[in-house]
Amino acid sequence: MLIKIKRGWELPDSAATPESVFMNRRTLLKGLATGPLLAAGAAMPFAGGLGSALADEEQEDPSAHLYPVEQNPAYTLDRPLTPEDIATTYNNYYEFGSYKEIWQEAQALKIRPWTVEFDGMVEEPMTVAIDDLLAKMPLEERLYRHRCVEAWSIAVPYSGFPLKALVDFARPLGDAKYLVMQTFEDDDVAQGQRQFWYPWPYIEGLTMAEATNELAFIATGYYGKPIPKQNGAPLRLAVPWKYGFKHIKGIVRFSFTDERPVSFWEELAGNEYGFWANVNPDVPHPRWSQANERFYGPDGQERLPTQLYNGYAEQVASLYEGIENELIFM
Ligand code: MTE
């Protein structure tokens, strides 16, 4: 599936995608034969049926019986939901390729057994099996907007639990200032991880105040079912007031630290994809406007004005009061 979009306000994905960061970087890596890998990925045929891939996943996922869960009425939408077949087939997951149609490649990921580590500044480091963790967490459904830095957006039902519940479970020390999350590493199944010019593993970070804000959520389900692999199974972050690249997928590790981490995209291009990454229509990306977004709704694509903090200012604006000399919207 290749989604073609018009020019004008509608930014071509080829210009907006972080792939272009790679292209810039590639020009610096003179003499390295990097092109064919990407070209081969882009030409990958769209074979097989989505229905059967998702059915297989449900069979393989022992958490399927947990869903659907009750919806939390505090988190609803001002727009219709994005159709499930779009939200599960138009994705960013660079571990599986730097193009949008990675859902099929992502089925190679084995999500059981899956263990999660808690370490760094915690009372006691722990390694916990995913199903034991899920059994301890308070599951609920929330409807969230999702705004990618590339200027497309969707609205989706996540199931999961507040990140604060996980922080409490991990028992960080009082002087921990940041929570750092890390994606799995396995370049046998995630062939994008063979692309050595990316700083694998994918990591992301939040301040402790952000991580314990009521909106910060760990998604384990999507559309009333276990979350598909391409959307970040079995654990994926959802911080809807921030650009999509903060929503790290396939998490295996939560570390607490007093040093601000440098995240995956920040390391590649810190002037374009910063630590804070809060949505603001008035602060353009260095290479395109963020004033509008291309929303994927039930009637196709629709141009909508982008909102400050993606519409969640009431819950999060106070987190950033008093922060000086920082690009909090980049
Ligand atoms: N997490 C990992 N590990 N690798 C990625 O490439 N891409 C991010 C984010 N999480 C990414 C990731 C980006 S840029 C976006 S917009 C969202 O995932 C997309 O989430 P979705 O495909 O579920 O809509």
pLDDT in tens, 178-201: 999 999 999 999 999 999 999 999
- Identify the pLDDT of residue 149: 98
94 CB less than 6 Å from ligand 1? yes
- Identify the pLDDT of residue 152: 98
Kindly indicate the confidence band of residue 80, based on its pLDDT and cuts at 50, 70 and 90: very high
Q: The sheet that has 251-257: what strands, in order across it?
A: 126-129, 115-120, 251-257, 178-183, 203-207
Residue 254, strand partner residues? 118, 181
Residue 321: what residue type? E
CB 105 within 8 A of CB 97: yes
Return the exposure string of 214-242: e unless at least 16 CB atoms fall within 10 Å of the residue's CB, then b.
Answer: ebbbbbbbbbebbbbbbbbbbbbbbbbbb
Task: Look at ligand 1, atom 8, and give the residue with the nearest C-alpha.
Answer: 245
Indicate the top mutation candidate among 92, 98, 181 to test ligand 1's pocket, ranked by most ligand atoms within 8 A of CB.
Answer: 92
- DSSP code for 310: G
Q: What is the mean pLDDT of residues 214-229?
A: 98
Kindly give the distance from the C-alpha atom of residue 149 to the centroid of ligand 1, in angstroms, as a whole number: 11
Residue 205 has pLDDT above 70, yes or no: yes
CATH node for 13-320 = 3.90.420.10
The domains of the chain are located at 13-320
Instruction: Give the pTM.
Output: 0.86
CB 230 within 8 A of CB 102: yes
Compute the C-alpha angle 160/162/163, nearest 5°: 110
Establish whether the linkage from the previous residue to 228 is cis, with ω within 30° of 0.
no
- Identify the pLDDT of residue 59: 59
215 CB less than 6 Å from ligand 1? no
Residue 90 has pLDDT above 80, yes or no: yes
Q: What is the mean pLDDT of residues 147-172?
A: 98
- Cα 94 off chain centre by: 11
Residue 280 has pLDDT above 90, yes or no: yes
Q: What percent of the chain has pLDDT over 70?
A: 82
19 CB less than 6 Å from ligand 1? no
- Identify the pLDDT of residue 10: 37
Kindly give the distance from the C-alpha atom of residue 95 to the centroid of ligand 1, in angstroms, as a whole number: 10
CB 47 within 8 A of CB 85: no
103 CB less than 6 Å from ligand 1? no
264 CB less than 6 Å from ligand 1? no
Q: Name the packing angle between helices 35-42 and 19-28 (round to 10°).
A: 160
- Locate the ligand 1 atom nearest the alpha carbon of residue 18 and give its number: 14
249 CB less than 6 Å from ligand 1? yes
Euclidean distance between CA atoms 317 and 321, whole angstroms: 7
Task: Look at ligand 1, atom 17, and give the residue with the nearest C-alpha.
Answer: 244
